[in-house]
Amino acid sequence: MRQLILLLGDHLHPAPPALEGFDPAQDGIVMIEATGEGTHVWSHVARITLFLSAMRHRAAELRAAGYPLQYLALGDAAHAGAALTDRLASVLAQHRPERLVLVEAGDWRLMRAIEATAAAAGVTLRVLDDPHFLCSHAEFKTWARGRKRLLMENFYRRMRAQERVLMDGDEPAGGTWNFDAENRKSFGAKGPGALPVVRRFLPDALTRQVMAEVQQHFPGHPGQLDAFDWPVCRADALAALEDFIRVRLPAFGDHQDAMWSQEPWLWHSLLSTSLNLKLLDPREVITAAEAAWRAGAAPLAAVEGFIRQILGWREFIRGVYWFDMPGMKTANHYGHHNSLPAWYWTGDTHMQCMRNVVQTTLKHGYAHHIQRLMITGLFGLTAEIDPAAVADWYLAVYVDAVEWVELPNVAGMALFANGGRFTSKPYAASGAYVKRMSNYCKGCRYRPEQRVGLEACPLTQFYWNFVDRHHAVLASEPRTALMAKNLERLPEAERAQIRNEAQARLSQLDTL
């Protein structure tokens, strides 16, 4: 065999880059399911199902297009082993190809393991940069090198100009780069009102078969499968894109930071899974959104806000991950070492905000951005939980989780574990923020405005304790000086009480 092409589970591109120049007479293709990829973090059953079902759908398409494909299913006895690389080693021994070819893995750990496996087998490895992304590693490095702090907004403007997205000549459309000031509204007491119906994708026979195998091979894993309805193939993903652009994009942004119990989707796009599996190309998503604005079907503020997430945040986060790994994985700026409370896996807590977000996550494998950042992430930060434990949880429970996108969001954005490499301040807030942006506090056992006492909201108490602990640094930075100033207004006796009560609670997070 001249070359063996390895298609990984999140490399389901419509036109696989690794298949360019494929010659069936001397080349082979392999796709590998491995239990180890679902157990190295204790993965949600919906996350495993999504990856495996999408892989099997893609395999069927490739076979129908005439490609010879070797597919190792979970139960394949001929190539035993839990680790993907054990199974790969067995396939390499079987075919003895001159070369192993793959698009770069989305996970530093897996990429290094594949390199080691190829080296041990004496097979040359060819790793292709992933053309799915608009910014290559080389371009990102050139931009980032020498900058002390990496600011997404600068990167985003450069990408807009370079890719000619939402530009009128050399100027940003509408005369400004960023319409964020028009987003971020809360719902008020009445809530979101009537919400658009979201198009969902009921499991077909192939997905149902995968579900049965996942139940068999991954007993005791978190999450539920009865609500599983994610796009698993390109046709579904295109339908999901069309539905979002037509139905929810016009109001995207207005309430991007708002949360409401029992309303998991709001106006979010739900496209992260299709993008991360490479069923959708970011260019077609961006083009569709811009076209909706140019056709008068969606306002510029909504379209700019959405495009910024894809062309800005998503590309930036991917660049940062490869630029800062492997150090990002062990970063722990504040030296936090508390264990992750057991209720992160069950939702069994008195904190209504946490219960709601964890339960939604267990049901769908999904929570929207602000729930991830300002509920489960915020708690992880101010409850002083070990960043590695928090990151493993995020990687396990979200259907769109691949480490290149999960880790920078957790370590960099939510936990400030890398010391503000690309955020100008920690995302610390009290229960007052949650009260303003959601209805979670209504009926909660705790009181969001209360800093001390049995009914003190843990988020509020931990927030003030966090500001107290880091007072000197926060006071010295213009963007956080107000947090420090507000703490100084509290009587010393109350500050001491916050410290004492917070210490007691921090040592028994499981009971909250």
User: Which of 125-133, 272-280, 325-333, 431-439 is the region at the interface with ligand FAD (rule: CB under 6 A)?
Assistant: 272-280
CB of 253 to ligand SF4, least distance (A): 24
382 binds ligand FAD (CB under 6 A): no
Query: Among 29, 166, 310, 351, which residue sits at the site for ligand SF4 (rule: CB under 6 A)?
Result: 351
The interface with ligand FAD within residues 164-183 (CB under 6 A) comprises none
C-beta separation of 102 from 6 below 8 A: yes
156 binds ligand FAD (CB under 6 A): no
* Nearest Cα residue to 399 out of 47, 45, 11, 40: 47
271 binds ligand FAD (CB under 6 A): yes
Residue 448 binding: pick among ligand FAD, ligand SF4, none (C-beta 5-8 Å cut-off by kind): ligand SF4
DSSP 339: P
Query: Among 179, 446, 462, 464, which residue sits at the site for ligand SF4 (rule: CB under 6 A)?
Result: 446
Q: Tell me the Cα Rg of the chain.
A: 24
458 binds ligand SF4 (CB under 6 A): yes
373 binds ligand FAD (CB under 6 A): yes
CB of 317 to ligand FAD, least distance (A): 4
Residue 143 binding: pick among ligand FAD, ligand SF4, none (C-beta 5-8 Å cut-off by kind): none
Task: Pick the closer one to ligand SF4 by CB: 150 or 367.
Answer: 367
CB of 446 to ligand SF4, least distance (A): 4
377 binds ligand FAD (CB under 6 A): yes
Residue carrying structure tokens 């097979």: 123
Distance, CA of 227 to chain centre: 20
Q: What is the DSSP string of 150-178?
A: --HHHHHHHHHHHHT-SEETTEEGGG-S-
Torsion sign, CA atoms 129, 131, 137, 139: positive
Query: Among 459, 498, 502, 509, which residue sits at the site for ligand SF4 (rule: CB under 6 A)?
Result: 459
The interface with ligand FAD within residues 392-411 (CB under 6 A) comprises 394, 398, 400-401, 405-406, 409-410
CB of 464 to ligand SF4, least distance (A): 13
C-alpha to C-alpha distance for 337 and 475, rounded to whole angstroms: 24
The interface with ligand SF4 within residues 382-411 (CB under 6 A) comprises none
Q: List the structure tokens of 482.
A: 């107000």
CB of 458 to ligand SF4, least distance (A): 6
- Give the SS3 label for residue 478: coil
Task: Pick the closer one to ligand SF4 by CB: 210 or 378.
Answer: 378
Omega of the bond leading into 387 within 30 degrees of 0 (cis): no
CB of 377 to ligand FAD, least distance (A): 4
CB atoms within 10 A of CB 125: 16
106 binds ligand FAD (CB under 6 A): no
Enumerate residues 6+ apart whose C-beta is below 8 A from 458: 351, 379, 383, 431, 446, 505, 512
Torsion sign, CA atoms 72, 77, 80, 83: positive
DSSP 251: G
CB of 415 to ligand SF4, least distance (A): 18
357 binds ligand FAD (CB under 6 A): no
Q: What are phi and psi of 447, to 5 degrees?
A: -110, 120
**Beta bridge mates, 385:** 338
Task: Pick the closer one to ligand FAD by CB: 110 or 123.
Answer: 110
C-beta separation of 286 from 165 below 8 A: yes
* Nearest Cα residue to 153 out of 286, 308, 318: 308
243 binds ligand FAD (CB under 6 A): no
Task: Pick the closer one to ligand SF4 by CB: 273 or 352.
Answer: 352
C-beta separation of 328 from 281 below 8 A: no
CB atoms within 10 A of CB 454: 9
C-alpha to C-alpha distance for 91 and 97, rounded to whole angstroms: 10
CB of 290 to ligand FAD, least distance (A): 14
Residue ranges in contact with ligand SF4 by CB under 6 A:
351-353, 431, 434-435, 440-441, 444, 446, 448, 457-459
Residue ranges in contact with ligand FAD by CB under 6 A:
268-272, 275-276, 309-310, 313-314, 317, 368-369, 372-373, 377, 394, 398, 400-401, 405-406, 409-410, 413-414
